Amino acid sequence: MAKKRIYEIAKELGITSRELLRLLKELGMEDLRAVSTVSEEDASAIKELLAEQVGKKGAVAAPSPKEAVAVEEKPTEAVAEKPEAEAEGKRGVPRPPVVAVLGHIDHGKTTLLDAIRKTNVAEREAGGITQSIGAYQVEYNGRLITFIDTPGHRAFTAMRARGAKVTDIAILVVAADDGVMAQTVEAINHIKAAKVPMIVAINKIDKPNANPDRVRQQLAELGFAPEEWGGDTIMVPISALKGEGIDELLEMILLVADLQDLRADPNGELEAWVIESNLDPKRGPLATVIVKNGTLRVQDVIVVGTAWGRVRALLDYQGKRIKEALPGTPAQVLGLNDVPQPGERVERVKNPREAERIVSERLEALKKPPERRRPSIEELLAAQEKKKLKLVLKAASVGALEAAQLELGTIQFDEVDIEIIHAGVGPINESDILLAAAVEEGEPLVVGFGVKVDPKAKKAIEQYGVPVRTYDVIYDLIKDIETAGKRLIGPKYLEEKVGEAEVLKTFKISGVGVVAGCRVTSGKVIRGGKVKVIRKGEEVFTGEIASLKHYTQDVQEMKEGQECGIRIKDFDKVKPGDILEVYEVKVIQPV
């Protein structure tokens, strides 16, 4: 039977997701929110009811062409492509969304996380705030939401740079009195790069100089028009300090979670990530993990990076012992033999022996020179899709930044896209490096124009091996980006025939192989050149000249009329009478 997603109904009615929610609530149908799809018939019935309500109120803003929340469309399509049965059945049960809070310093991230925490009934009953393990859960309308309580985009992207996919929804906090600031833009770019849906919390609306509309305007100018203006971005005015608007924010989180259709299989393969870790003097290494799929249990044998252990105990965010951690749930793990890094994946293995084997292999691998984490240029070339150069651009002033962006905009390659994933004013900082390190598709490059690299960033550069360049002259910057682009396209090779030789005799030299005694009949032959072996007019082998000798002397080239010994790499079947055509391979686009 055909199904319809709840938000599609909103779209058809020309109302925003938020208005849909409000109307459902007014009709006493808020339970529907927990359901992400309904049957076609139910959809029609709901639509009729809502349409009536919309008509009655007349309060609904004029429909806009872009009602659907942009970020919601992707997962929706992905799900829609799957067969019904798979979408409904095999994908497991709904799981709590994992939410991160980002924004400019002092805009109220910590206050918001505290305010949300206070809404937690269970915690109030438990008697106050417990020590944080790095994440907590609240129950809202009978459903759980998990919050990572280390706010800020550095922590957010540091985890991604290590490969972790933890966050499902990002809350961008913008203070209504201060408006969009440098770190707000940074945070937006980090959220965009992570491809997670964003909800804006316009904070501090209690302040007399609060100007929420200015925030809406500023964000709209950055391409994030609010839903209430016909845009795609959900924005909720709040006062974290007074606890106003928190309920609506939580509702929006659940709404976005529904639209993403977050599911997990508690019986499936374990997917869990470390979000925080430390060494406790009494309890040993502690790691807070968030389970995204499967179930983590006490007694499980786990490997995390180069640490391993049998889970001795699991503690929930209130410090209570639990036997198992289900999908969406944060838990503190006791029993590891070492402190793992945030962002590392938790893997379950069969037994301690296997854990030890994996860890010792990893430790061994660490001793070797680091392998390139990124694909080689050859691999990039082999890839079908267009290659991407992803730039983080920093400049000394807004003027300099705009000039650099303008110049960069003029560079065009057929085979490479240049994308500026973040542009900002100020020195190259740690967060710039992390953002580049977390690039998944494409090659990252951090460039500074008239700015320096700050000390923390230097450390991160060492750790993540991200290419960073700084320039004082814009022309040099542009030239280098052009070169980097060309490097991605790769050099083009041109073969040029330089001469021919005839094989007179062959010699088998033990330990070396077969050497052909030749006379150069035209042009020249060169060591390292490409060679084609022609026998009776047919090409029988193509390879490379491995060695070229004049008597016993190694030589670089031999000219027409001279005699020489040629050994062809990986080819011992050369025969007298064969003609060797020799080619020089030229790089026509030096990099």
| CB 23 to ligand GDP: min, Å | 28
How far is residue 289's CA from residue 309's CA, in Å, rounded to a whole number?
Answer: 14
Q: Which residues pair with 154 in a beta bridge?
A: none
Question: Residue with structure tokens 């094989």?
Answer: 503
Instruction: Rule CB under 6 A: say whether 329 interacts with ligand GDP.
Output: no
* Structural tokens at position 286: 């502690």
Q: Which is nearer to ligand GDP, 69 or 240 (CB)?
A: 240
Strand-strand pairing, 284-293 and 271-280 = antiparallel
Instruction: Rule CB under 6 A: say whether 106 interacts with ligand GDP.
Output: yes
Among 54, 155, 180, 240, binds ligand GDP (CB under 6 A): 240
| CB 112 to ligand GDP: min, Å | 7
Q: Which is nearer to ligand GDP, 203 or 293 (CB)?
A: 203
Binding range to ligand GDP, per CB under 6 A, among 102-110, 394-402, 463-471, 499-507: 102-110
Among 207, 357, 486, 487, binds ligand GDP (CB under 6 A): 207
Instruction: Rule CB under 6 A: say whether 584 interacts with ligand GDP.
Output: no
Instruction: Rule CB under 6 A: say whether 111 interacts with ligand GDP.
Output: yes
Binding range to ligand GDP, per CB under 6 A, among 200-208, 375-383, 395-403, 509-517: 200-208
Instruction: Rule CB under 6 A: say whether 204 interacts with ligand GDP.
Output: yes
Instruction: Rule CB under 6 A: say whether 59 interacts with ligand GDP.
Output: no
Instruction: Rule CB under 6 A: say whether 183 interacts with ligand GDP.
Output: no
Instruction: Rule CB under 6 A: say whether 105 interacts with ligand GDP.
Output: yes
Q: Which is nearer to ligand GDP, 105 or 383 (CB)?
A: 105
Binding range to ligand GDP, per CB under 6 A, among 79-87, 141-149, 203-211, 508-516: 203-211
In the chain, count H helices and then E strands. Answer: 17, 31
Phi and psi torsions of 372, nearest 5°: -65, 125
| CB 177 to ligand GDP: min, Å | 8
Nearest residue to ligand GDP on Cβ basis = 108
How far is residue 561's CA from residue 523's CA, in Å, rounded to a whole number?
Answer: 9
| CB 117 to ligand GDP: min, Å | 12
Contact 531, 548 (CB under 8 A): no
In terms of Cα–Cα distance, which of 479, 529, 540, 465 is closest to 499? 529
Q: Which is nearer to ligand GDP, 240 or 395 (CB)?
A: 240
Q: Which is nearer to ligand GDP, 120 or 239 (CB)?
A: 239
How far, in whole angstroms, is CA 186 from its chain's centroid?
Answer: 16
501: CB partners within 8 A, 6+ apart: 518, 519, 520, 521, 525, 558, 564, 566, 579, 580, 582
How far is residue 340's CA from residue 347's CA, in Å, rounded to a whole number?
Answer: 12
Among 3, 51, 92, 110, binds ligand GDP (CB under 6 A): 110
Binding range to ligand GDP, per CB under 6 A, among 204-212, 272-280, 314-322, 443-451: 204-212
Strand-strand pairing, 563-568 and 557-559 = unpaired
Question: Residue with structure tokens 């000039």?
Answer: 403
Binding range to ligand GDP, per CB under 6 A, among 100-108, 157-165, 255-263, 403-411: 100-108
How far, in whole angstroms, is CA 356 from its chain's centroid?
Answer: 30
Among 206, 265, 417, 584, binds ligand GDP (CB under 6 A): 206
Contact 18, 67 (CB under 8 A): no
In terms of Cα–Cα distance, which of 270, 272, 348 is closest to 310? 348
| CB 238 to ligand GDP: min, Å | 7
How far is residue 535's CA from residue 575's CA, in Å, rounded to a whole number?
Answer: 9
Q: Which is nearer to ligand GDP, 249 or 558 (CB)?
A: 249
Amino acid, single-letter form, for residue 316: D
Amino acid, single-letter form, for residue 373: R
477: CB partners within 8 A, 6+ apart: 404, 407, 447, 449, 469, 471
Instruction: Rule CB under 6 A: say whether 444 interacts with ligand GDP.
Output: no
In terms of Cα–Cα distance, which of 397, 591, 390 is closest to 489? 591
Q: Catalog residues that contact ligand GDP under the rule CB under 6 A.
A: 103, 105-111, 151, 203-204, 206-207, 239-241
